[in-house]
Amino acid sequence: MNLKNKVAVVTGGSNGIGEAIADKLKELGANVIIFDIKKPKNTFEYYKVNITKDDEIKKAVNSLDKVDILVNNAGIYFEKYIEETTDEDIDTMVDINIKGTFKVTRNLIDKLKKNKGCIINIASCLGLVPELTSPLYCTTKAGIVMFTKCLAQEYADLGVRVNCVLPGPILTELLEISFKTEEQKKKCANRIPIKRIGNPSEVANVVAFLSSDEASYVTGGIYTVDGGVSTSSIYSK
């Protein structure tokens, strides 16, 4: 795979899965641009962008000459039963996970159409199978799956490919917060058919393929990188 001369925007690319994606695309030759509220540790072109703020997105987008690849990775997660979920919780998660993804895509779509580029949305295996403790999160990620399918249909005849990657449990700072002890991590791993937690690079590898010309006939696809979590409802019990 070769992404030389390609320009890629990665939202939420300063840590976790987003950082691994940015590193992989750069390794393959792409000029990677990070949109994030946090400055990346590695050397990338960076714009401080809160994806809920349309003016911040527009300002960054207007600074870019071209974009070939958009990776909508930025998102948040928390666990709350519906009875505990406040209006503020709903607004925050929907603003970032749904509206933020929509706004970034809306602002970049003209550049992507011009270059017959591609979009990779990062959802979650929990957009396919339920996690009983996080109905709001599951709902937003299911929305990203359908968003992907809609855009794939809309822009196929213009040469823009749109796909979705759905990670399962991945070794990131977010997972470390959720599972603070090795025992908790082991319990999580044992519920995964492959019996281990995934690495960010394993998600990045799939994104890299979908970004490349090798995937030129691939659009509207929903690709799980979850060790088999989404093959069974056992995970959600």
Coil, strand or helix: which one is 142?
A: helix
pLDDT, position 85 = 97
Average pLDDT for 131-150: 96
Give pLDDT tens digits for 198-229. Answer: 999 999 999 999 999 999 999 999 999 999 99
- The values of phi and psi at residue 121, to 5°, are -95, 135
Catalytic residue among 137, 155, 223, 235: 137
7-228 architecture in CATH?
3-Layer(aba) Sandwich (3.40)
pLDDT, position 234 = 56
Q: How far apart are CA 88 and CA 18, in angstroms?
A: 26
Nearest Cα residue to 94 out of 144, 128, 44: 144
Give pLDDT tens digits for 86-138. Answer: 999 999 999 999 999 999 999 999 999 999 999 999 999 999 999 889 999 99
Tokens representing 92 are 């925050």
Give the pLDDT band (50/70/90) at residue 156: very high
Give pLDDT tens digits for 162-207. Answer: 999 999 999 887 777 777 688 888 888 888 999 999 999 999 999 9
Mean pLDDT of the chain: 94
Domain range summary for the chain, segments of one domain joined by +: 7-228
Give pLDDT tens digits for 40-78. Answer: 988 899 999 999 999 999 999 999 999 999 999 999 999
- The values of phi and psi at residue 136, to 5°, are -65, -45
Amino acid residing at 173: E
83 has a pLDDT exceeding 90 = yes
Reply yes or no on whether 235 is catalytic. Answer: no
Give the pLDDT band (50/70/90) at residue 20: very high
Q: How far apart are CA 50 and CA 35, in angstroms?
A: 8
Q: How far apart are CA 127 and CA 230, in angstroms?
A: 9
| H runs (alpha helix) in the chain | 16-27, 54-62, 87-93, 101-114, 135-155, 173-178, 182-190, 200-211
Tokens 């970032």, residue located: 96
Amino acid residing at 115: N
pLDDT, position 233 = 59
Alpha carbon of 99 to those of 34, 102, 157, 176, 237: distances in Å?
19, 5, 25, 27, 30
Tokens representing 163 are 């796909």
Tokens representing 108 are 């970049």
